[in-house]
Chains A and B, each alone.
Chain A
Amino acid sequence: DVKVTQSSRYLVKRTGEKVFLECVQDMDHENMFWYRQDPGLGLRLIYFSYDVKMKEKGDIPEGYSVSREKKERFSLILESASTNQTSMYLCASREAGGPYNEQFFGPGTRLTVL
Chain B
Amino acid sequence: GENVEQHPSTLSVQEGDSAVIKCTYSDSASNYFPWYKQELGKRPQLIIDIRSNVGEKKDQRIAVTLNKTAKHFSLHITETQPEDSAVYFCAASRESGGYNKLIFGAGTRLAVHP
Contact = CB atoms under 8 A, between A and B. Distances in A.
B61 interface: no
B97 interface: yes
A58 interface: yes
A33 B91 CA distance: 15
Contact of A102 (B4, B31, B46, B51): B46
Contacts of B44: 43, 90, 105
A56 B89 CA distance: 23
A98 B32 CA distance: 10
Contacts, number: 54
A45 interface: yes
Contact of A43 (B46, B93, B104): B104
Nearest to A48: B101
Interface of B: 1, 4, 6, 9, 31-32, 34, 36, 42-46, 49, 51, 89, 91, 93, 95, 97, 99-107
Contacts of B1: 59
A45 B6 CA distance: 17
Judged by DSSP, the binding face of B is: strand
A58 B101 CA distance: 9
A105 B32 contact: no
B101 A45 contact: yes
Given A4-B43, A40-B9, A42-B107, 20 more contacts: A33-B101, A35-B104, A40-B106, A40-B107, A42-B4, A42-B6, A43-B89, A43-B91, A44-B104, A56-B97, A58-B101, A90-B44, A99-B32, A99-B95, A100-B32, A102-B34, A103-B102, A105-B44, A107-B42, A108-B43
A106 B45 CA distance: 10
A41 B99 contact: no
